[in-house]
Amino acid sequence: MQSISRMAKDVSALIDHSRLRSFPNALADFLSNLINFDSLIMVAYKENYKPVMVYPLDKGLHSPTLRMYLDQAYVLDPLYNVIKSGNPPALSRLQDIAPDSFENTEYFQQCYKDFNFVDEINLITPLDNGLAMAITIGRTARLNSITRGELNRLQEIYPVINSLIRQFWLSQSQEYVKFERSEGAMRQAISTFGGGILTKREQEIAGLILQGHSSKSISSLLNISLGTVKVHRKNIHTRLNTSSQSEIFTLFLSHLNELEAAAASSSAIDNVLPMMKVS
C-alpha cells in the first residue's frame, strides 16, 4: 500500500499531465501503482459513433479480439449498453452490469472470451455532448479476481481521476475526435434485425437475447409474463428458421455486414454526386 506522501506525489505528477497528450500514459502508470492488471484500455463512447481508442493508441498493441470489439462487437457488450442507457455506474465490475446469461451468448463465446479475463473493472466518466470515457481494467487467471482492498482504493481515488479526465478531454479532445466514425449501420443493427420477418416485439426480444438476457430477465425488463417470452422465443426461431442462439448470432452478423455494405455504398454515392455536379 502506498504511503500518503507517495500518493500525494503521484497525484501531483498526474495533475501535471492532465492537460497534455501524455495524460493517458501517465494515468495508466498511476493506476498500476494502485491495482495489478493484465490489460488496461481507455475508450471514448459517443452516441451514434463507434468507440474511439484513447489508450493505447499504438495499433500494434491491439489484439484481433480488441479490433473486432471496436469495429463491430461493441454493440453487444454490457459496458457499451450500460453507457448507452444514460445512467452508468461510476465504477463497476463486469458481473455487476452484464445480463444474467451473458456468458452463454455467442458474443461472449466468439469474442469476449478471447480476452481471457477472470475479472473486469470499469471506471466511467461522463463527459459533455453525450460522451463518456471508460477505463477498462482486465485481470486474467495469472492475477485472479480483484481484491477488496484494490477495489476500495479505486473507489477512493475515482473522484480525482474523474476530474482529471474531464480536464484532459477539455484540452485534448480534438486529437481524438478526428478518429470518430459514424456507427451508421451499427446503430441500426439490433433495432432492424429480422425486419420484415419478426414483429416489433420479437425484434426487441431478439436484441435482448443477443445481449445476454435470459427469458426471466426479458420478462422483467419488458414487464411481460415468462410464458409470453417463451412463446416469442419459439416464434423467433420458427420465423428465422433457427434452432440455437448461435444461428441467430450468425444471422445478426450477416445482417450487420449487409447494413455496413449499404452504408459504404451510400457514402460513396454522396461523395461522387458533388463532383458530378461540378463537372
At 118-168, the pLDDT tens digits run 999 999 999 987 889 999 999 999 999 999 999 999 999 999 999 999 999
Averaged pLDDT for residues 190-214: 92
pLDDT-derived band at 4 (thresholds 50, 70, 90) equals: confident
Strand, helix or coil for residue 91: strand
pLDDT for 266 equals 53
pLDDT for 279 equals 47
- Mean pLDDT, the chain, rounded, equals 88
Supply the pTM of this predicted model.
Answer: 0.85
At 62-92, the pLDDT tens digits run 999 999 999 888 989 999 999 988 889 999 9
**119-126 and 131-139: which strand pairing?**
antiparallel
Highest mean pLDDT among 3-17, 89-103, 169-183: 89-103
Q: Determine the residue type at 159.
A: P
Which cell numbers in the block locate residue 244?
A: 440455437
Please choose, from the candidates 221, 195, 199, the residue with its C-alpha nearest in 3D space to the C-alpha of residue 209: 221
Residue ranges of the chain that CATH labels 3.30.450.80: 4-177
pLDDT for 221 equals 94
Residue ranges of the chain that CATH labels 3.40.50.2300: 185-278
Strands (E), 30-153: 39-46, 52-55, 91-93, 119-126, 131-139
pLDDT for 5 equals 79
For residue 21, the tally of other CB atoms under 10 A from its CB is 13
Q: Which residue has the higher pLDDT, 33 or 190?
A: 33
Strand, helix or coil for residue 93: strand
Averaged pLDDT for residues 241-264: 84
Q: Burial of 173 by CB count in 10 Å (0-12 exposed, 13-18 middle, 19+ buried)?
A: middle
Averaged pLDDT for residues 41-48: 88
Q: Burial of 186 by CB count in 10 Å (0-12 exposed, 13-18 middle, 19+ buried)?
A: buried
pLDDT for 268 equals 45
CATH class of this structure's domain 4-177: alpha beta
Averaged pLDDT for residues 201-214: 94
Q: Which residue has the higher pLDDT, 257 or 22?
A: 22
CATH class of this structure's domain 185-278: alpha beta
